[in-house]
Amino acid sequence: MNSVHQLEDFLRSREIAPIFNEDIIPYLSLYHFEKGETICSQGEAAEFLYILVKGKVKIFTTSEDGKTLILSFKTPLEVIGDIEYIQKINTINTVEAVSPVIMIGVRQNTVREFLNEHPPFLQFLLDIITRKFYIKSQFMRHNIMYPVETRLASYLVSVAYDENDALVNGMVSTSNLTDIANLIGTSYRHLNRVIKEFCIAGLVERKKGTIMIKDLEGLKLAAKENLYE
């Protein structure tokens, strides 16, 4: 299938064709990213507006001393660059592909030229941005109300599987346990205790600097819900 037909299929199947007008359609393109590839980087000029139509991405921020903090995982439909577009600012966070990813992309200056006064597109952005604030509120509530076991299980499910529950990365490096602890709101020591409990329960296996997922359904049961998506 050529890229034009594939783009048309995504516009129809994801029911996003109505948010665009005919003028901007020729400027839309499909962008493919492999697992581990950076889609946009914190601090860079925000050149594109992307709509995630296939795959899963990880969003994280990096401090001045090089420490990273994972903020969330996103699956379709999601917009990357919306806040930057509205505020006219540089990219806030780094976005990385967790699985093979397909985005519909268009340059932000083209969006301003053709869609700035197009109500369906503006309503779409409003829906997306308000949903992000809602998810952020829920995330903060979860990190307060749910035990570390639930939060860690949800993290492992989020990082290892795509939106179709297909395994994309069944192993998590133990080199970033501090980042994971920061994300789920616990100490490094407590996190290690919970990982040991998961190993005993047969949910994961820890060896050679990695945590290998052994029981997806067990982790989903422990997670209760996807806290980070």
Task: Give tens-digit pLDDT for 92-132.
Answer: 999 999 889 999 999 999 999 999 999 999 999 999 999 88
Q: What are phi and psi of 162, to 5 degrees?
A: -85, -170
Name the residue type at position 137. S
Secondary-structure class of domain 3-142 per CATH: mainly beta
pLDDT in the model for residue 1: 45
Q: What is the pLDDT of residues 162-214, one digit of tens each?
A: 655 555 556 677 777 887 887 787 889 999 999 999 999 999 999 888 888 89
**Distance (Å, rounded) from C-alpha 139 to C-alpha 129?**
15
Phi-psi region at 15: left, alpha or beta (left = phi > 0; alpha = psi -120 to 50): left
**What pLDDT does residue 125 have?**
95
Percentage of the chain exceeding pLDDT 90: 53
CATH of 146-223, one of 3.10.20.70, 1.10.3720.10, 3.90.550.10, 1.10.10.10: 1.10.10.10
Query: pLDDT band at residue 65, thresholds of 50, 70 and 90?
Result: confident
Strands 78-80 and 48-54, by their bridges, are antiparallel
The verdict on whether omega for the bond into residue 122 sits within 30 degrees of 0, i.e. cis, is no
DSSP bridge partners of 204: 213
Instruction: Please enumerate in sequence order all residues whose Cβ is within 8 A of that of 62, keeping only pairs 6 or more positions apart, or say none.
Output: 42, 68, 69, 94
Residue closest to 42 by CA, chosen among 9, 70, 77: 70
R_g of the chain, CA atoms, integer Å? 19
**Domain locations along the chain:** 3-142, 146-223
DSSP state of 147: -
Q: What is the pTM of this model?
A: 0.77
